[in-house]
Amino acid sequence: MAEPELISTPFTAASTADDVLRGFDLTGVRALVTGGSSGIGAETARALTAAGAEVTLAVRNTTAGDTVAESIRDSTGRIRPRVAPLDLADTAAVARFAEAWQGPLHLLINNAGVVTGGLERTREGWEVQFATNHLGHFALALGLRGALARGASGRGGARIVAVSSTAHMRAGVDFDDLHFEHRSYDPQIAYAQSKTANSLFAVEATRRWAADGIVANTVNPGGVSTGLQRNFTPRQRQSLDAAEAAGVFTYKTVEQGAATGIVAAVCPAFAHSGGHYLDDAQEAYTVPNDADLAQHPHGVKEWALDPGLARRLWAVSADLLHA
């Protein structure tokens, strides 16, 4: 059987979020951006606001969020984004956030992420990168499913954008030791596992929710220097430098880094089609799990799109949250 044709767009690695949104009027679209107080999240929120969307910034640091919201209002001349506190590593905080949400939601951008330099755990004993990057966003999406369904009903569809990373190619999900209770801790492998989980979430969310008009897609924003790297150890920095030298990535501006997420958020080709992984504004080609990252810097590994693994991760995640 022939492989399905990959979805392409007219945009490239050099495109910016504003390039993608040119010609779009997002008046009436309600968007939620996690991690919107800096970096790619802040630029995503700015671009959406400039196009007319009503944006909420879900952030841990509301002071920083307010600063970004004021800047967005001043630079766009649009309505100031709303700022709401959200700690994705705190399950109770995620539940409170979802319960407090009022009205429909048309666009959920799961952008927030953490990188740790060593092993950290939540109060449940979960490894922090997996808990924040995957489980927190998973719980948030579950809690907002009703709002997304209302958004889809009113505008003919709702979208979720899961922000992943080239790092997913380093590791799949270790279902036998999700929280590094038995294996030696490697923060890079832990981060990679969480980024693979982001993609698997999009696959299964689409399968479960497409009938309600909700689709989810995964994006790799590419190499962008943001606050995400602030906790890097010397070893992590050396690894990043080596990857850049090997041609795995070329640094983008934050405006370019936000573009692929905006493609997934607004381009017609992804309005009713989910479970895709985008890189440099295009659907990425799939590579075997043993493929070398340096040779396939714009690919997506099979373990990040496997429907069986996606269903398994969903069930395990739901069990953890209800334990």
pTM listed for this prediction: 0.93
Per-residue CA distances from 196 to 54, 76, 77 (Å): 30, 35, 38
Supply the angle between the helices 187-209 and 234-245 in degrees, to the nearest 10.
70
For residue 277, the surrounding DSSP H or E stretch is strand 277-279
Q: Which residues of the chain have pLDDT under 50?
A: 1
Q: Per-residue DSSP letters for 87-130?
A: -TT-HHHHHHHHHH--S---EEEE------SS--B-TTS-BHHH
Count of residues in the chain:
323
**Catalytic residue from among 185, 191, 251, 285:** 191
> What's the rounded Cα separation, in Å, for the pair 27 and 51?
7
At residue 235, the pLDDT reads 67
Q: What is the pLDDT of residues 232-284, one digit of tens each?
A: 666 665 665 566 566 666 789 999 999 999 999 999 999 999 999 999 999 99
Instruction: Tell me the pairing of strands 285-287 and 107-110.
Output: unpaired
Residues ≥6 apart with Cβ < 8 Å to 94:
86, 87, 88, 136, 139, 140, 143
Task: Compute φ and ψ for 127, nearest 5 degrees.
Answer: -65, 130
Pairing mode of beta strands 277-279, 282-283 = antiparallel
Alpha carbon distance 187, 115 (integer Å): 8
Confidence (pLDDT) at 234: 66
**If you ran DSSP here, which 8-state letter would residue 121 be given?**
B
Residue 191 designated active-site? yes
Q: Which two tokens stand for residue 158?
A: 């709702």
Say how far apart CA 49 and CA 57 lie, in whole Å: 11
